[in-house]
């Protein structure tokens, strides 16, 4: 994929993989993930880059047993939405038994290849 | 209040139709609707046609004119794509076209062909209704997205998989006499709970089937109906459309669906009604939890209270507010692009007595609602239907 098609998302994943995750905040403090040129909540275009907190908290999760073809070899796997305070991320949870994944559990965000393709996926691992 | 008249409905059975193309199915539904309305193709002003993934499943884009031709006309047409809300939006736009005076007679409907894609292909296709960058690339499937919402709802308000199973059982039971339904199969709560898991907490019976099918409506202005002495005893008296962010993680809460709430407010205001006036509802139960979201956003229940409605019997056939008497998406089936129009057709025929489940509708019932959702309710339409007293 070229930078033109993902509009800054690749750069975001690079940073996240390096432990330098970031997000954007509009003037009204709505947290957003790249790529964005405007805040969908208020229309503001003044987006400032902020440091992504190192750990976040699982808001909700599911174990996917019937995957899309891109995740064929991964299933069953756990997908979760994780709250990092001002912004939330969606990704795959690894390093925890599926039965032990719980709401409010603290995790860190990184980037790892999917097991089926080499596509990079946001990955959550239990916070130490 | 626009009082657009619903003069005719038509639909194919929903199910697996490997031998039928999209144009063949939409022709059947559309021509049936025109006949039902008593309107010649020459009088149609426009076609509003809903379809989600026809470009993938049939390698056919630009389906609007193709489907107009199938009905015997070359009037202006458009294909409306809004995921699972495609034909709800087609109906909405058709109501606007007539309400604004731009058109007198329109066909609104939709078609989807999905079973030819296989389970993996259809799962992949349906996932396209979620945000590709933020969700699909993070392993979120369509059932997975609703499962994320279900877990968030349980966490905030309580509720169990068993509560959801009662919704599936109810909707399967309603479909038993509906010969257009994809699944005419009785299930028990125990069977629903024991079914193979697809995305926890959902098992197979929490999800609607992958279906093929088409549905169409003929809408007209009251003037045209009167001039041509047509029977059009049901009006669409309110139409609303609401929106939200595509990705779930960008929403302040995952346990409510504001797009439906927004659509309902507009539709109710336009029709000058409130939720207490509604006698029956057809809502978008692509997954069992979606029926709960819909009933709360429609104002039929307070937040956190619709989860037990089916278990308590309130939304069953003999309950206070029968919901999804057609079988819903759950059992009637969900040919994505046809669903919204089929829901409106179901409400209309339930109200006028011609639906196989019409006996469950109270004799004095005059108002019904159809709610159609796109993706994880990033789009929603709500239509209020009323029996007209003339
Ligand atoms: Zn903002």
> How confident is residue B390, by pLDDT bands cut at 50, 70 and 90?
low
Contact, A18 vs A79, CB < 8 A?
A: no
Beta-carbon contacts of B131 under 8 Å, excluding residues fewer than 6 positions away, are B246, B247
Query: Count of CB atoms within 10 A of residue B13's CB?
Result: 18
Which chain B residues are closer than 8 Å to A35 by Cβ? 133
Query: Distances from the Cα of B230 to the Cαs of B49, B215, B368, in angstroms?
Result: 24, 21, 22
Query: Distances from the Cα of B357 to the Cαs of B124, B275, B352, in angstroms?
Result: 34, 22, 11
Q: Residue B2 and residue B237: Cα distance in Å, rounded?
A: 6
| Residue in B with minimal Cα distance to A115 | B139
Identity of the residue in B120, B133, B144 whose CB atom sits nearest the CB atom of A62: B144
Residue of A65, A97, A103 for testing the chain B interface, max B β-carbons within 10 Å: A65
| Residue in B with minimal Cα distance to A78 | B139
Segment B123-138 mean pLDDT: 91
For residue range B18-55, what is the model confidence (pLDDT) as tens digits? Answer: 999 999 999 999 999 999 999 999 999 999 999 999 99
Local structure of B137: helix, strand or coil: helix
Is the pLDDT score of B90 beyond 50? yes
Percent of chain B with pLDDT over 90: 95
For residue range B333-384, what is the model confidence (pLDDT) as tens digits? Answer: 999 999 999 999 999 999 999 999 999 999 999 999 999 999 999 999 999 9
Q: Residue B214 and residue B23: Cα distance in Å, rounded?
A: 9
B-proximal residues of A, 97-116, CB under 8 Å: 98, 103, 114
For residue range B93-108, what is the model confidence (pLDDT) as tens digits? Answer: 999 999 999 999 999 9
Return the biggest CA–CA distance within chain A.
42
Structure tokens at B56: 């993938």
Local structure of B107: helix, strand or coil: strand
Predicted confidence at residue B296, as pLDDT, reads 98
Cα B214 to the center of its chain, rounded Å: 12
- Phi and psi (nearest 5°) for B355? -85, 145
Which residues sit with Cβ closer than 5 angstroms to ligand 1, an ion?
A 26, 28, 30, 39, 41-42, 44
Identity of the residue in B139, B151, B248 whose CB atom sits nearest the CB atom of A67: B139
Q: Which of A81-85, A95-99, B128-132, B319-323 has the lowest mean pLDDT?
A: B128-132
Which chain B residues are closer than 8 Å to A109 by Cβ? none
Contact, B329 vs B339, CB < 8 A?
A: yes
> What region, left, alpha or beta, does residue B343 occupy, with left being phi > 0 and alpha being psi -120 to 50 degrees?
alpha
Query: Count of CB atoms within 10 A of residue B167's CB?
Result: 30
A48–chain B nearest CA distance, Å = 17
Local structure of B214: helix, strand or coil: strand
Exposure string for B374-384, b = 16+ CB within 10 A, e = fewer:
bbbbbbbbbbb
Residue of B119, B127, B144 for testing the chain A interface, max A β-carbons within 10 Å: B144
Length of chain A in terms of residues written: 128
pLDDT 10s per residue in chain A (128 long)?
444 446 689 999 999 999 999 999 999 999 999 999 999 999 999 999 999 999 999 999 999 999 888 888 889 999 999 999 999 999 999 999 999 999 999 999 999 988 777 789 999 999 98
A64–chain B nearest CA distance, Å = 4
Q: Do A67 and B152 touch (CB under 8 A)?
A: no
Catalytic residue ranges of B: 84, 334
Q: Specify the DSSP element, H or E, that contains A12.
A: helix A9-17
A19–chain B nearest CA distance, Å = 18
Contact, B2 vs B237, CB < 8 A?
A: yes
């Amino acid at each position: 994929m070229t930078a033109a098609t993902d509009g800054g998302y690749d750069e975001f994943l690079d940073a996240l993989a390096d432990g330098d995750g970031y997000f954007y905040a509009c003037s009204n403090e709505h947290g957003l993930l790249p790529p964005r040129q405007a805040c969908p909540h208020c229309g503001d275009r003044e987006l400032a880059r902020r440091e992504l907190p190192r750990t976040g908290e699982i808001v909700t999760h599911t174990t996917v047993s019937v995957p899309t073809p891109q995740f064929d070899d991964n299933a069953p796997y756990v997908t979760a939405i994780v709250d990092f305070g001002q912004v939330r991320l969606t990704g795959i949870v690894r390093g925890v038994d599926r039965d032990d994944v719980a709401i409010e559990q603290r995790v860190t965000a990184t980037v790892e290849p999917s097991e089926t393709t080499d596509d990079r996926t946001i990955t959550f691992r239990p916070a130490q | 209040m626009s009082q657009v008249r619903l003069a005719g409905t038509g639909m194919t059975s929903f199910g697996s139709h490997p031998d039928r193309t999209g144009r063949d199915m939409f022709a059947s539904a559309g021509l049936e609707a025109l006949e039902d309305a008593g309107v010649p193709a020459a009088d149609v002003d426009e076609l509003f046609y809903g379809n989600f993934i026809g470009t993938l499943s049939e390698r056919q884009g630009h389906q609007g004119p193709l489907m107009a031709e199938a009905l015997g006309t070359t009037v202006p047409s458009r294909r409306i794509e809004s995921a699972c809300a495609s034909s709800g939006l087609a109906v909405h736009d058709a109501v606007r076209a007539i309400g604004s005076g731009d058109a007198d007679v329109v066909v609104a409907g939709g078609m989807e062909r999905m079973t030819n894609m296989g389970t993996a292909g259809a799962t992949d296709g349906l996932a396209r209704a979620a945000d590709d960058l933020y969700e699909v690339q993070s392993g979120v499937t369509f059932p997975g997205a609703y499962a994320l919402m279900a877990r968030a709802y349980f966490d905030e308000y309580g509720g169990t998989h068993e509560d959801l199973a009662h919704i599936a059982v109810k909707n399967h039971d309603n479909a038993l006499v509906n010969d257009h339904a994809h699944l005419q199969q009785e299930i028990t709560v125990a069977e629903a709970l024991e079914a193979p898991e697809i995305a926890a907490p959902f098992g197979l019976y929490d999800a609607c089937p992958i279906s093929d099918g088409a549905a169409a409506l003929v809408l007209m202005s009251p003037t045209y109906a009167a001039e041509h002495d047509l029977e059009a005893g049901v009006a669409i008296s309110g139409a609303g459309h609401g929106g939200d962010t595509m990705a779930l993680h960008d929403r302040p809460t995952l346990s409510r669906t504001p797009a439906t709430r927004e659509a309902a407010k507009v539709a109710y205001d336009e029709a000058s009604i409130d939720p207490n006036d509604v006698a029956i509802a057809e809502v978008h139960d692509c997954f069992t939890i979606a029926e709960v979201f819909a009933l709360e956003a429609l104002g039929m229940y307070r937040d956190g209270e619709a989860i037990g409605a089916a278990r308590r019997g309130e939304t069953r056939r003999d309950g206070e507010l029968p919901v999804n008497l057609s079988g819903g998406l759950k059992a009637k089936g969900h040919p994505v692009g046809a669903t919204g129009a089929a829901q409106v057709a179901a409400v209309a025929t339930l109200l006028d007595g011609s639906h196989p489940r019409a006996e469950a509708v109270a004799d004095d019932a005059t108002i019904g609602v159809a709610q159609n959702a796109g993706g994880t309710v990033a789009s929603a339409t709500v239509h209020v239907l009323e029996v007209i007293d003339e």
